[in-house]
Amino acid sequence: MHQLAGKLNQLDPQVGEALRIVAYFDVLIARGVGLDGLLRGAAVLSGTVAGAEIRGRTTRRDPDGRPVTDAAGPPPRGSRRSHAEWTVWLEREGEPGAVDEMVVERLALGVELLEARRRPEGGFDAVVDPTRPVAERVSLLAQRRITPATRVRILATPAEAAEVGEVSAIVPTRYGLLRATLDTSGRLTPPERAGYGTWVRADRAPESWEASVIALRLTDISTPVVDATDLGAMLMLAQAYDPDRPHEDVRALARLDRRSADILLALVEADSIRSAAAGLGMHHSTVQARHEALTRALGYDPRTNLGRMRYIAAALLLRLTDPVPPERSGPL
């Protein structure tokens, strides 16, 4: 993630900085830091005092990590986020800093997760946690008047996405923080990117959550919503895949530059090389040469039936390997 942030920073400093902030807070949360750790991180990243008020108690930290306890009137508040039981903010006079909004957003997500864990009955994140005993998950569902046999599915959305259901939680994943939302009606419609999990019994909610995360990873600009059910047998392939040990077909796709990847996709989808050339606006002989070069690079001909299958499978798994969801459209 840090390597990706560095590369993006060279191309677009704002995007690279935003990704660095996301990765920074994800590491803090994954390590189980408390409120003080989150506030110290927010203060360091923003270069100003970060504060939080939770159930009437105020905590503030400066960029050096020291507590701020002055009581000379209310502190200046710049960017802020509020919830029913808590508020977080950055203290800055004048115009907000370039990263203030992103920092306070990730700070708010971290506090939301801490509060969910603090509740005696446990947060909804426990319901989708496969490491929790089934009896514990069933007990948490019962508190929400949901029986083990109730038909449910879990939706995965970016952590900062607006809540679309009554029951949701921020959940740490290998791809960073995501929001898990319980759906029992099938009528929830997230306003932005979303992955829909499979329909399962409520006591098997972790299975639906796993599927929804995979579905979210397969979204892109042209397909902002993906339903895991529509993946069919491809879902089994994705669930069995280990992103830390990518197959050579996946590595081969990852090595391609953007232009080569676009040409490869056109070759896979087109009826002929001539029609692929027309769609790309390239000469037929040029695309023919690129087809031959790609065949050598991949180790298979992407225009054969078997080659298309290998490409589609590798393209799907590549999306589960990338640190961030890709922007380019794929074959799915």
**pLDDT (tens digit per residue) in 58-81:** 999 988 888 888 755 555 667 888
CA–CA distance from 310 to each of 179, 253, 303 (Å)?
32, 11, 10
Condensed to tens digits (0 to 9), the pLDDT of residues 131-178 reads 888 988 898 888 888 999 999 999 999 988 888 877 888 888 888 888
The torsion angle over the Cα atoms of residues 107, 325, 17 and 174, rounded to 10 degrees, is 50
Q: Are 280 and 289 in contact (CB under 8 A)?
A: no
CA 287 to chain centre: 35
31 confidence band (pLDDT: 50, 70, 90): confident
Residues 6 or more apart whose CB falls under 8 angstroms from that of 58 comprise 51, 52
Residues 6 or more apart whose CB falls under 8 angstroms from that of 171 comprise 125, 128, 129, 177, 178, 179, 180, 209
Condensed to tens digits (0 to 9), the pLDDT of residues 229-282 reads 999 999 999 999 998 899 999 999 999 999 999 999 999 999 999 999 999 999
Following DSSP, what letter does each residue of 146-208 receive, concatenated?
Answer: --TT-EEEEEEEETTSPP-SSSEEEEEETTEEEEEEEESSS----SS-EEEPPPEEGGGHHHH
14 confidence band (pLDDT: 50, 70, 90): low
302 confidence band (pLDDT: 50, 70, 90): very high
Q: How far apart are CA 330 and CA 250, in angstroms?
A: 14
Q: What is the CATH topology of the domain spanning 248-319?
A: Arc Repressor Mutant, subunit A (1.10.10)
Query: Can you give 207-263 as a three-state secondary structure string?
Result: HHHHHHHHHHHCCCCCCCEEEHHHHCCHHHHHHHCCCCCCCHHHHHHHCCCHHHHHH
pLDDT, position 227: 97
Amino acid found at 179: R
Condensed to tens digits (0 to 9), the pLDDT of residues 189-239 reads 888 899 999 999 999 999 999 999 999 999 988 899 999 999 999 999 999
pLDDT, position 97: 76
CA–CA distance from 288 to each of 272, 293, 295, 331 (Å)?
10, 9, 11, 21
Q: Are 296 and 276 in contact (CB under 8 A)?
A: no
37 confidence band (pLDDT: 50, 70, 90): confident
Residues 6 or more apart whose CB falls under 8 angstroms from that of 175 comprise 213, 217, 323
Q: Tell me the three state secondary structure of residue 109.
A: helix
Q: Tell me the three state secondary structure of residue 32.
A: coil
Residue extents of the structural domains in the chain: 2-118, 124-230, 248-319
What is the token pair recorded at 285?
């002989």
pLDDT, position 131: 85
325 confidence band (pLDDT: 50, 70, 90): very low
Q: Are 276 and 262 in contact (CB under 8 A)?
A: no
Q: How far apart are CA 265 and CA 259, in angstroms?
A: 10
Condensed to tens digits (0 to 9), the pLDDT of residues 86-116 reads 899 999 877 777 789 999 999 998 898 888 7
pLDDT, position 9: 44
- Poorest-confidence range of 53-57, 78-82, 275-279, 293-297? 78-82
pTM above threshold 0.85? no
